[in-house]
Amino acid sequence: MAKLDLILEKLAHAQRRLLRSADSVPADQWKTRPARGGWSAGELIAHLIVVERGVVGKADRIQQKTPKQFSFFQRLHLPIRLVEARVIRQKSPTPLDPELIQEKETMLAALRDVRERTLAFLEETQGRNLSEYRWRHPFLGSFDMYDWFQFVAAHEARHEKQMREIAASLPKAIATLQK
């Protein structure tokens, strides 16, 4: 299960980096969108939570069924490395629910919770061949379940870069000296 170990390592590394980047966004600016537009840090984390919950939820549902057969051409997909590279920017196919945007610590706890669920799923299914199960990504093609969890790590790494951009673009607090 060397493939699974690599996925677990990528998931841990991506989340550590993302949480470190999120630390650089002050709690009072968590919901502030960058001046040039784009998502706030809170919106970004909400997106990551929704995507990972969706992946682990779908994985849980389809692994309970008999795997379907896919032809060679149906199994083709673009490299997952494209996700992390952020070379091609895409709008999320899933609209963001504004109700999901909470305070910083609440959202970061929710992100950790969904990762715990992902890790629990991978542990529960470690004796099974998850490569038999697959579904389509909206832009990249058909992924097997292992690819999907590699995607989760690459997706988080992609958005870690965006989190750093958000943090760098936020107005900096200026301390003034009182005389």
Neighbour-count burial of 117, counting CB atoms closer than 10 A to its CB (0-12 exposed, 13-18 middle, 19+ buried): middle
User: Rounded distance, CA 107 to CA 117, Å?
Assistant: 15
Q: Is the pLDDT of residue 108 over 80?
A: yes
Mean residue pLDDT across the chain? 88
Span 141-175, pLDDT tens digits? 889 999 999 999 999 999 999 999 999 988 775 54
Backbone φ and ψ of 102, nearest 5° = -120, -170
CA dihedral 160, 41, 87, 112 (to 10 degrees): 40
Percentage above 70 pLDDT, the chain: 91
The residues that bridge with 77 in the sheet, in sequence order, are 141
Q: Is the pLDDT of residue 90 over 80?
A: no
Specify the range with the lowest mean pLDDT, choosing from 93-97, 112-116, 173-177. Answer: 173-177
pTM above 0.95, yes or no: no
* 30 close to 41: Cβ distance less than 8 angstroms: yes
The two tokens of residue 35 are: 């001046």
- Length of the chain, please? 179
Neighbour-count burial of 145, counting CB atoms closer than 10 A to its CB (0-12 exposed, 13-18 middle, 19+ buried): buried
Among 90, 64, 68, which residue's Cα sits nearest to residue 136? 68
Amino acid 18: pLDDT: 97
User: Rounded distance, CA 39 to CA 54, Å?
Assistant: 20
Among 130, 3, 109, 12, which residue's Cα sits nearest to residue 60? 130
Among 138, 151, 123, which residue's Cα sits nearest to residue 14? 151
Q: Delineate the domains of the chain, giving CATH numbers in brackets.
A: 2-20+40-87+102-169 (1.20.120.450)
